[in-house]
Amino acid sequence: MYYRNVSDLNQIILKRLNIIPRNFDLIVGIPRSGMLPANLLSLYLNKPYTDITSFINGHIYKAGARGQFFDIKEFKNVLVVDDSIASGSAMEKCRESLLHLTSDFTFSYCAIYVIPGKEKIVDYYFEVVPLPRYFQWNILNHTSLEKACFDIDGVLCVDPTSEQNDDGEKYLDFIINAPPLFIPGSKIGTVVTSRLEKYRKETESWLTANHVHYNELVMLDLPNKEARQKANSHAEHKAKTYLSKPYVLFFESSLNQAIEINRISKKPVLCTETFEIIFDSESMLYNIKSGKYFPFLRKFALKIRNKIRLCKNRR
């Protein structure tokens, strides 16, 4: 698994900023993932920027004002930016949408990350990153989240305060009304928490109210807070669920627990405390499945999977 967070994005842009010529008049981002790197490039190159639709409609973002019209004569050289290139289809659609403007502008195309073999799709790229890969700025909408586990407190919602964590009325009120944090746009495989089983009904109600879609909810089957504290098995409980199915990622808020879950499971854990992936202990089986070892086996397996899906769709 290859993962890049916002800090990585910023660092690679700063490191290789010199590859971008200074003759561009305007930076145009491809929504939505391309807007973040477009904004950073605009900042460091000290150039105005906008998104594709706004550009076509004659709007740019200017310091201190939004939605200002521009005179077409002001700009000639335009750099179009996306965060990444995989198949290249999104960039191709972007080129097609700008075809009618090629007589007025000179367009160049840039992606921060490209997969091996796709470097020539763009004029400029910053780093080659193979598949499978995750980016912090779109991971909550990734289709593979159904192969992931999510903790609740500190991930899907805020952590309870010491006062709220009384295993009584205050804690019950917290569960029912906890402010949401990172709510994914895709369905989750399993929500796994150290909350006690007796709070299942209230927890399920909160998940439904906050539009969290999931296949399974795993809770801790202990009688009370004292028994949970005595067992002190938070990481073990979560790692056991993580290992129970072919999950590929675990979302955990606590860095210490993330490290422990990774140590036990030998699989990656994304810590929302730092938005870094903890992946120090990699199992042989996981590395083969992910394609880090023997990548030809992964490619072959993916081809077989795609053929099976194609056959099913034809039925």
State the pLDDT at residue 312. Answer: 65
User: Which residue, among 9, 10, 53, has the nearest Cα to 31 in the 3D structure?
Assistant: 53
Average pLDDT, the chain: 89
State the pLDDT at residue 228. Answer: 80
User: Which residue, among 213, 214, 215, 231, has the nearest Cα to 223 in the 3D structure?
Assistant: 231
pLDDT greater than 90 at residue 74: no
Asked if residue 21 has a cis previous peptide bond (ω within 30° of 0), the answer is no
State the pLDDT at residue 227. Answer: 81
pLDDT greater than 70 at residue 282: no
Rounded mean pLDDT, 80-104: 93
State the pLDDT at residue 69. Answer: 62
State the pLDDT at residue 60. Answer: 80
Number of H helices, E strands in the chain: 11, 15
Per-residue tokens: 95: 């080129």
Q: Using one digit for the tens of pLDDT, what is the confidence trace for 205-251?
A: 999 999 999 999 999 988 788 888 787 789 999 999 999 999 999 99
Quote the CA–CA distance of 72 and 229 in Å, as a whole number: 66
User: Which residue, among 141, 144, 235, has the nearest Cα to 182 in the 3D structure?
Assistant: 141
CB count within 10 Å of CB 160 equals 18
Quote the CA–CA distance of 218 and 229 in Å, as a whole number: 18
CB count within 10 Å of CB 117 equals 9
State the pLDDT at residue 314. Answer: 66
Q: Distances in Å between the alpha carbon of 144 and those of 33, 147, 189, 268, 308? A: 17, 5, 9, 14, 18
Rounded mean pLDDT, 248-271: 95
Q: Distances in Å between the alpha carbon of 173 and those of 163, 168, 191, 197, 198? A: 12, 9, 20, 16, 14
Residue 49 near residue 25 (C-beta atoms within 8 A): no
pLDDT greater than 60 at residue 14: yes
State the pLDDT at residue 241. Answer: 97
pLDDT tier for residue 1 given thresholds of 50, 70 and 90: confident
State the pLDDT at residue 128. Answer: 97
State the pLDDT at residue 164. Answer: 95
134-138, 183-187, 310-314: least confidently modelled range: 310-314
- Where do the DSSP E strands lie in 122-203? 124-128, 133-135, 148-150, 188-196
pLDDT greater than 80 at residue 165: yes
Per-residue tokens: 45: 């190159």
Rounded mean pLDDT, 52-76: 74
pLDDT tier for residue 299 given thresholds of 50, 70 and 90: confident
CA dihedral in degrees (202, 205, 210, 213; nearest 10)?
Answer: 120
pLDDT greater than 90 at residue 125: yes
Quote the CA–CA distance of 158 and 279 in Å, as a whole number: 24
The neighbouring-strand residues paired with 252 are: 271
Strand-strand pairing, 65-69 and 59-62: antiparallel
State the pLDDT at residue 232. Answer: 77
State the pLDDT at residue 59. Answer: 81
